[in-house]
Amino acid sequence: MYRVVRIEKVVQETPSIKSFYFVDNSNPAPGQFYMVWIPGVDEFPMSISAIDDLKRFTVKKIGDGTAAMHNLQEGDRLWIRGPYGRGFKPTDEPALVVGGGTGMATLAPLINALRDADVIIAARNEKELLFVDEFPDKEVHIATDDGSRGFKGFASELAAVLIDKKEYGMVYTCGPEPMIKAIVDICLARKIPVQASLERFMKCGIGVCDSCSINGFRVCADGPVFSEKELAQMTELGKWKRDPSGMKVKI
Amino acid sequence: MLSITINNLHFPNPFLLASGILDESADTMFRIIKHGAGGVVTKSIGMKKRGGYQNPVIYELPYGLINAMGLPNPGIEAFGEEMKKLKNCGVPVIGSIFGGTTDEFVYLAKKMENYGADAVELNLSCPHAKGYGMEIGVNPNLVAEIVGEVKKSVSIPVWCKLTPNVTDIVEIAKAADKADALVMINTLKAMAIDIEAQRPVLSNTYGGLSGPCVKPVGLRAVYDVFKEVDKPIIGVGGVCSWTDALEYFMAGASAVQIGTAIATKGPTIFAEISRDVADWLKKHGYDSIKDVVGVAHR
C-alpha cells in the first residue's frame, strides 16, 4: 500500500537532475530505496538521498516516469512504498566514497554518516557534477570525463591513485556499472573491502519477480548494496543485464 | 522421510518453487535449490519475448500480494540457455508454458522436453493476460483438448495448473483427465484502488491475489478435487509455514509449491519448512510425508 507524501521543495541540481524534498516518517538506512509511483505514468525505484526531517529523492530524467516527476512542483504529491533492500554497512575506518553521476544521490546520506571519508565526485562534465558543495567537512575530489573540472578521466583512475596513496579500510561506490566494475576490480586486486550499490530494471521491489537479479542475487532484496564477496561472484557485473522480458542483453 | 515420487520423478522433498517467482534465470533457480527447494517450476514461457506490463505490477497487502506481471518472458527460443544451465541441478525442473492455442502449447511442450525439462506445467490459469491462461482454463473443452494434444506429443509428464476463478474446479480437474498431475491453485483474479489517486493501482487494472489470504481457497480446491480425481495433486496458494504445508498434504496434495512467502520470509523458507515438517512427522510417529497425504478425508 502506498503512502502519499507532499513535495515540500524542488531543487534543480544539474541540467538533468532535480531533488525533491518531502516529509515521511519511515526510517531508511543509507543505500535503501523506495518505489515511487506517479499515478497514470509509471512506478520506479528511487534511492533516498537525504535522511533528515526532510527526506529527499534526487532524480535524473531518464524515462517516462522520471520525466513526469521532473514536471512536479512544490505542493504536488508522490506515492511511495518502502524503504526496501539492504543499505550500506557503515565503517569507522577511513573510507573512500566514489560516486559517478546520480550515484552520488545514493551515497550522500552515507557520506554524512561516515566519520572519516574522502569523496570522489565524478560526472561526464562540470555541469553534471552532483553535490560538490554538500560535504564541507570531507576531502572532496572531482573528476570529469572531459576535464572541464578537476581530474580529467574516469573516477576509477582517480580512485586507483588515491587508494595507492592512503590506506582505506573500505571503499563505497555507486554510479555507471562500468565504473563500479572497474572500482570493484581495483579493490579485489588490492584486497580492500568494497561495497557497491547496483542498479537493474526493477519491477516488484520486494524480491519475488527475478527481473532485477544478477547471477542469482536479487538487487531489490539482497542488495542493492553488495560487498566484495558477493561482487566477486557476479560474472555478469559490468557485462550483462536483463531487459524487461528477462532476456540477457549486453551492457 | 520427505522424499516423494510423482509420475516417476524423484523429489528430495515436497517443497517446490512455484512458477512466476524467482525463476526467470537459471542462476536464481540454482540459488533456490541451494536453499533446499525439492524442485523448481520455471517462469511461464511463451512463443515470443514479452516484456510484461508497465509498473506498478505488484501491490502489497497485509494479507498477500496482487500481481499483474503480464507473463514477461524471453521467449521459448532464448529460454533454452537458462534450461541448459539447469541440467544436473540435482532436482526435477518443471518447465511452465503458456500458449494462446493448442498448437502453441504443443510446440512449447516439445521445446521444453528437448531442453531437458523433467515435466511441463501448462499455465491454464494466469488471471491477467488477455488470450492466455485463465481465459482458456475456465473452458473444460479447451482444457481437455490442450492437455490431450500436449500429452500425445511429449513423453515427459504433463502437469496442469488450474485456476480457482471458476464455479466448479472439480469440473475443470476432470476435464484435464489426460494430465499426469494437477497443480492448484493459480492466483485469484483481483484488483486494488488507491483512494488518493482515485484509480486502480495496477497498470493492468486486474491482477492475481496470492499469499496467506488465498490458502483457505487453495486448500478447499485440493480437498474437493482429491475426493473426485485419482491423480497426484500439487498444492499451491499461500503456503507460508510448515503448518500450511501440512494442511495441504492432509487435504490431498502430494507436494506443495511456494511462491509469495519468499517475499516475506526469504529463500530460506524452503529449508525451514522441510525441517519443521520432518519434526512434526517424527513427533507423530510417521515415517514418511506420504503417510499424511489425504488423511483429512478419513
| Mean pLDDT (whole number) for B252-273 | 96
N residues, chain A: 251
The correct answer on CATH 3.20.20.70 for the domain covering B4-52+74-189+210-297 is yes
Residues A120 and A168 grouped into a single domain: yes
Residues A114 and A76 grouped into a single domain: no
The three-state secondary structure class of B182 is: strand
Residues A26 and A105 grouped into a single domain: no
pLDDT in tens, B198-220: 999 999 999 999 999 999 999 99
Domain range annotation of chain B: 4-52+74-189+210-297
Residues A28 and A134 grouped into a single domain: no
CB proximity list for A73: less than 8 A, separation 6 or greater: A7, A10
Place of cell 576535464: A147
Question: Among A54, A84, A114, where does a domain finish?
Answer: A84
Q: Of A52, A63, A57, A112, which Cα lies nearest the Cα of A79?
A: A57
Per-residue model confidence (pLDDT) at position B162? 96
Element (H, E) at B26: helix B26-34
Residues A74 and A99 grouped into a single domain: no
Phi, psi (deg, nearest 5) at residue B10: -95, 125
Cα B265 to Cα A221: distance, rounded to the nearest angstrom: 11
Residue B129 above 90 pLDDT? no
Q: Of A100, A150, A155, which Cα lies nearest the Cα of A130?
A: A100
Residues A153 and A31 grouped into a single domain: no
Per-residue model confidence (pLDDT) at position A213? 95
Residue B177 above 90 pLDDT? yes
Question: Among A60, A84, A108, where does a domain finish?
Answer: A84
pLDDT in tens, A76-104: 999 999 999 999 999 999 999 999 999 99
Residues A54 and A148 grouped into a single domain: no
Q: Other C-beta atoms within 10 Å of A162: how many?
A: 17
Q: Do B60 and A81 touch (CB under 8 A)?
A: yes
ipTM for the predicted complex: 0.92
The rounded Cα A134 to chain-centroid distance in angstroms is 16
pLDDT in tens, B45-101: 999 999 999 999 999 999 999 999 999 999 999 999 999 999 989 999 999 999 999
Q: Other C-beta atoms within 10 Å of A1: how many?
A: 11
Q: Give the side-chain half-sphere CA count within 13 A for A233.
A: 11
- Catalytic residue, chosen from B126, B160, B213, B240, is B126
Q: Which candidate in A33, A78, A200, A210 is best for mutational testing of the B interface (most B CBs within 10 A)?
A: A210
Q: Give the side-chain half-sphere CA count within 13 A for B62.
A: 0
Residue B9 above 90 pLDDT? yes
Cα torsion through A107, A108, A114, A119, rounded to 10: 80
Q: Which candidate in A69, A72, A211, A218 is best for mutational testing of the B interface (most B CBs within 10 A)?
A: A211
Element (H, E) at A112: helix A103-113
Per-residue model confidence (pLDDT) at position B128? 87
Name the residue type at position B190: A
Residues A126 and A185 grouped into a single domain: yes
**Average pLDDT over chain B, rounded to whole?**
96
Residues A136 and A224 grouped into a single domain: yes
The three-state secondary structure class of B67 is: strand
Q: Give the range of the structural domain holding residue A66, as residue numbers without chain letter.
A: 3-84
Burial A2-26 (b: 16+ CB within 10 A, else e): bebbebeebeebbebbbbbbbebee
CB proximity list for B13: less than 8 A, separation 6 or greater: B2, B3, B4, B36, B38, B270, B274
Burial A133-159 (b: 16+ CB within 10 A, else e): ebbeebebbbbbeeeebbbeebbbebb
Q: Do A245 and B266 touch (CB under 8 A)?
A: no
Does A162 fall in a domain?
yes
Q: Do A211 and B72 touch (CB under 8 A)?
A: yes
Residues A146 and A42 grouped into a single domain: no
Q: Do B69 and A246 touch (CB under 8 A)?
A: no
User: Among partner residues A204, A215, A245, which is closest to B49 by beta-carbon distance?
Assistant: A245
Quote the cell numbers at residue B129. Answer: 493476460
Residues A207 and A109 grouped into a single domain: yes
Q: How many domains does chain A have?
A: 2
Q: What angle do CA B40, B41, B42 make, to 5 degrees?
A: 115
Q: Other C-beta atoms within 10 Å of B41: how many?
A: 31
C-beta of residue B58 within 8 angstroms of C-beta of residue A209 = yes
Cα B40 to Cα B22: distance, rounded to the nearest angstrom: 10
Residues A208 and A111 grouped into a single domain: yes
Per-residue model confidence (pLDDT) at position B130? 86
Indicate which CATH number applies to the domain containing A59.
2.40.30.10
| Mean pLDDT (whole number) for A179-185 | 97
Question: Among A84, A117, A138, where does a domain finish?
Answer: A84
Residue B104 above 90 pLDDT? yes
Indicate which CATH number applies to the domain containing A149.
3.40.50.80
